[in-house]
Amino acid sequence: IPKIPFIDRDLSFIVADKYLVDELTACIMRVNKNLIKDVVLFDEYKGKGINNGYRSLSFNITIGAGTKNLTDENVNNLFDKIIKELKKKFQIEMR
């Protein structure tokens, strides 16, 4: 059992089909390589409610500092940065 636990949070958004999952994953990791430990796609949806040429993706993101517990504010700020980068580079729409 780790003394300082990791935090898992999910992030779901709509993005154009032209963008690869690997591109999105790499972008998320680059936001903060020290805190973001893992990014895993766990759901992809196309169909009712999603426009043609787009898909809904859901990622599980594991975060941890290793040396200290993170506060909600730390994690929320990190997720704000992740979303900002994804919107800038891939024009995502949050779900």
| Residue-wise pLDDT tens digits, 19-77 | 999 999 999 999 999 999 999 999 999 999 999 999 999 999 999 987 888 999 999 99
SS3 of residue 42 by DSSP: strand
With b meaning 16 or more CB within 10 Å and e meaning fewer, what string describes 2-38? eeeeebeeebebbbeeebeeeebbebbeebeeebbbe
